[in-house]
């Protein structure tokens, strides 16, 4: 054991002896910078400054690695103005891209003779590159590349490129953990911006609730990639719409979107349906037929109700997912396909795996990027937004002048559990518009399942919790009305909701918005 420790110490001492006094002083200062509490970006900028002042390494740059796309993007630079620049390097692109991809350091003795040097920042545009050397090393953490550290050095000051790379590698080893954390912070910040986006990925998908904003963010995040997505949720939540939104917001939007209802295909026909067949492959195969995977080549295939596939069909599907190629039934030819796969199910596939109803290996192939669609009862005020949307849609389709939904009908909507989710709500509104003979949808126009409500409790017998919630709700709305001078649109904005919902709540809670309106006094000033 002592021999092992002695050998390790000897190796460390050998490494240290490779550096001169200035280099050791720089490493010591860098260690002190990283040991202090503070902002990571500031610390990394101080390190680049130290590299410049003590080691003569100019125009130092730290690039972070995107784990999904494996692209490196320039995050921090010294003596280079990168404000407003979005500098990225794809795997293998330029020297930085090569180092990020291979995890091996690279050095260029004479930049003027290096054709692979991109100078994306333009910092060396007016410099004599022949007088510069370029050093670039990977930043490794936990056995993988998390970033790239690079810098210039005056060529005349470089005696040994390998020694310069060793010094820069020592710096990268010291900063590795800080760069790893910095990369995670930047990634989380980008995801927060995506998830915080209020823009729906499709005009067909309606919703302002927090849970739907999260769904929109996930769609935006996955659409640009070729990653397989699995959409889960109850029947009627809009899984097909989300699949279509992913396809339409992806680089494949110019290609086909082929939908397959797995529950509707018999086991005997699943192979022919998905992969096609040759003429005479089986009884009744009178002509050659292309399969759905071949039809989707260059686009997206949407496997709806994938949880309903039989065990035999699951095996055949798994093989195609693994190999991305197949043979049509009765044919010896092999077809290669470039298809993005989106699957959907209303089943709990993890539970089905435990009961041997669904293959675990197929599940893990499909569940690369899971998206859960919330039920309608989880979406709160989205119920009113959707109801208004369907009201306009079917009023227009039927040529009727139905303009609004009565407050008692809205109250029924909000208290209903909606087992059929958005599809049930849409059918309900379509029926109501058809039955209405005026410009209003009322409770009498609703299906019997919605008219049979639970017996309402008397106000005195309501739970203490509901009374407290109602009182708090009334107080918030009254404060917003006070602040907005009785303007319900502004009050809705203050509370982060819609005017329609505020109007409903005002009526339900018995609030008189006229009491909060600002009047003019005799001098014409608002009171």
Give the closest residue to 263 by CA, choosing from 313, 213, 190, 205: 313
Distance CA 243, CA 254 (A): 15
Other beta carbons within 10 angstroms of residue 128's beta carbon come to 10
**Measured between alpha carbons, how far is residue 426 from residues 192, 359, 384 in Å?**
32, 35, 12
Other beta carbons within 10 angstroms of residue 97's beta carbon come to 21
| Three-point CA angle 182, 188, 193, nearest 5° | 130
Go through the domains of the chain in sequence order and give each one's CATH number: 14-191 (3.30.450.40), 210-374 (3.40.50.300), 378-451 (1.10.8.60), 461-516 (1.10.10)
Evaluate whether 484 touches 490 at the Cβ level (below 8 Å): yes
Residue 425's pLDDT is 95
Residue 283's pLDDT is 56
Residue 415's pLDDT is 79
| Three-point CA angle 466, 470, 472, nearest 5° | 120
pLDDT means over runs of 10, the chain (527 residues): 37 49 82 82 91 91 80 88 81 90 92 81 84 93 90 90 91 89 70 52 79 90 92 94 94 93 82 74 65 89 92 84 77 82 94 93 93 90 87 93 85 85 95 93 87 45 54 78 87 83 83 69 35
Residue 485's pLDDT is 86
Structure tokens at 404: 């609004």
β strands within 242-401, DSSP E: 257-261, 276-277, 289-290, 300-304, 325-326, 335-336, 340-345, 369-372
Distance CA 449, CA 427 (A): 12
Distance CA 251, CA 271 (A): 29
Distance CA 249, CA 237 (A): 20
Evaluate whether 279 touches 285 at the Cβ level (below 8 Å): yes
Residue 347's pLDDT is 94
Residue 522's pLDDT is 37
Residue 284's pLDDT is 59
Residue 20's pLDDT is 67
Verdict on whether the full-model pTM lies above 0.75? no
């Amino acid at each position: 054991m002592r021999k092992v420790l002695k050998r390790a110490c000897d190796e460390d001492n050998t490494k240290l002896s490779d550096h001169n006094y200035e280099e050791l002083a720089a490493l010591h200062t860098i260690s002190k910078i990283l040991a202090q509490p503070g902002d990571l970006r500031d610390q990394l900028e101080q390190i680049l400054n130290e590299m410049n002042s003590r080691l003569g390494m100019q125009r130092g740059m730290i690039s972070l690695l995107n784990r999904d796309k494996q692209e490196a993007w320039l995050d921090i630079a010294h003596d280079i103005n990168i404000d407003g620049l979005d500098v990225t390097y794809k795997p293998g692109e330029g020297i930085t891209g090569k180092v990020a991809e291979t995890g091996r350091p690279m050095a260029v003795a004479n930049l003027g003779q290096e054709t692979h040097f991109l100078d994306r920042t333009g910092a060396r545009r007016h410099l004599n590159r022949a007088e510069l050397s370029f050093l670039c090393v990977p930043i490794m953490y936990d056995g993988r590349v998390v970033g790239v550290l690079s810098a210039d050095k005056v060529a005349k000051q470089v005696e040994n490129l390998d020694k310069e790379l060793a010094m820069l590698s020592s710096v990268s080893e010291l900063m590795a953990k800080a760069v790893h954390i910095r990369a995670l912070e930047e990634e989380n910040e980008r995801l927060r911006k995506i998830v915080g986006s209020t823009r729906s990925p499709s005009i067909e998908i309606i919703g302002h609730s927090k849970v739907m904003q999260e769904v929109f963010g996930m769609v935006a995040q996955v659409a640009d990639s070729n990653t397989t997505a699995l959409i889960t949720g109850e029947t009627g939540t809009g899984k097909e719409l989300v699949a279509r939104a992913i396809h339409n917001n992806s680089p494949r939007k110019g290609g086909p979107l082929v939908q397959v209802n797995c529950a509707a295909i018999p086991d005997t026909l699943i192979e022919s349906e998905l992969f096609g067949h040759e003429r005479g492959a089986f009884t009744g195969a009178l002509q050659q037929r292309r399969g759905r995977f071949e039809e989707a080549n260059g686009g997206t295939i949407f496997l709806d109700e994938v949880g309903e596939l039989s065990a035999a069909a699951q095996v055949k599907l798994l093989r195609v997912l693994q190999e991305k190629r197949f043979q049509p039934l009765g044919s010896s030819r092999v077809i290669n396909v470039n298809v993005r796969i989106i699957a959907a199910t209303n089943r709990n596939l993890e539970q089905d795996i435990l009961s041997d109803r669904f293959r675990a290996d197929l599940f893990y192939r499909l569940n690369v990027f899971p998206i859960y669609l919330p039920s309608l009862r989880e979406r709160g005020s989205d119920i009113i937004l959707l109801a208004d949307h369907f009201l306009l849609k079917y009023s227009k389709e039927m040529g009727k002048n139905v303009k609004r939904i009565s407050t008692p009908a809205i109250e029924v909507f909000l208290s209903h559990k909606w087992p059929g989710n958005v599809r049930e709500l849409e059918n309900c509104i379509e029926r109501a518009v058809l039955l209405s003979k005026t410009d209003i949808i009322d409770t009498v126009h609703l299906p019997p399942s919605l008219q049979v409500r639970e017996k309402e409790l008397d106000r005195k017998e309501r739970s203490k919790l509901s009374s407290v919630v109602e009182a708090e709700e009334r107080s918030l709305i009254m404060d917003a009305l006070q602040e907005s001078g009785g303007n319900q649109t502004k009050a809705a904005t203050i509370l982060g909701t819609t005017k329609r919902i505020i109007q409903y709540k005002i009526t339900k809670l018995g609030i008189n918005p006229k009491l909060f309106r600002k009047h003019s006094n005799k001098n014409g000033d608002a009171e």
